[in-house]
């Protein structure tokens, strides 16, 4: 029954209408909603066994090339929350060289030129890649937020998820847009 409530919550969030938001600028509510999605998504995803978290009591969400409003929404949401029984740490990266080993890397549109380097780096195994940029899902990002008829939807790149040995609960797959990995189309 608990899972049914989470699925219903995710489904309702995905149906939220943001018709008042301008196409060229995202509203603060959309950033808050994306932060909430990230929090809830962690309940439906299992990290690969090779993701070694033994040395930390933190769950790090790193943001590279992100809008400051998203970072602020993440900080506000995670101020008193935990993920996987760990305190959440939000990190803003200004350069790819600052990337350590977060559990989640949110790749913003300002990091487009670095996307392939991030995805191709074998040291980034065990990092869940999330973005909100058009085409990033098809290029190999695990989860991409997209606007469809003024609704926020999730794209899941099934090939990228399987290749990196993440597991996604089938309930999440039922409410998402499933993508093949078309990295060859770079």
Fold classification of 2-185 (topology level): Rossmann fold (3.40.50)
Cα dihedral 110→60→141→107 (10° resolution): 0
pLDDT confidence band for 19 (50 / 70 / 90): very low
**Alpha carbon separation from 42 to 4, 37, 59, 99, 143 (Å, rounded):** 16, 9, 11, 20, 12
Q: pLDDT at residue 68 above 50?
A: yes
Q: Is the CA virtual torsion 44, 50, 51, 54 positive or negative? A: positive
Whether the pLDDT of residue 161 is over 70: the answer is yes
In this prediction, residue 141 has a pLDDT band, given cuts at 50, 70 and 90, of: very high
């Amino acid at each position: 029954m608990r899972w049914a409530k989470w699925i219903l919550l995710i489904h309702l969030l995905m149906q939220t209408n943001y018709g008042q938001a301008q196409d060229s600028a995202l509203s603060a509510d959309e950033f808050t909603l994306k932060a909430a999605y990230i929090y809830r998504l962690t309940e439906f995803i299992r990290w690969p066994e090779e993701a070694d978290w033994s040395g930390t009591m933190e769950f790090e969400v790193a943001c590279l090339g992100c809008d400051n409003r998203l970072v602020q929404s993440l900080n506000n949401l995670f101020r008193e929350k935990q993920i996987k029984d760990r305190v959440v740490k939000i990190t803003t990266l200004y350069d790819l060289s600052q990337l350590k080993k977060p559990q989640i890397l949110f790749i913003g549109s300002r990091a487009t030129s670095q996307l392939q380097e991030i995805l191709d780096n074998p040291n980034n195994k065990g990092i869940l890649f999330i973005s909100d940029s058009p085409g990033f899902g098809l290029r190999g990002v695990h989860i991409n937020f997209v606007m469809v008829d003024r609704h926020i939807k999730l794209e899941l790149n099934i090939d990228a998820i399987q290749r990196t040995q993440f597991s996604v609960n089938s309930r999440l797959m039922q409410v998402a847009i499933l993508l093949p990995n078309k990295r060859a189309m770079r």
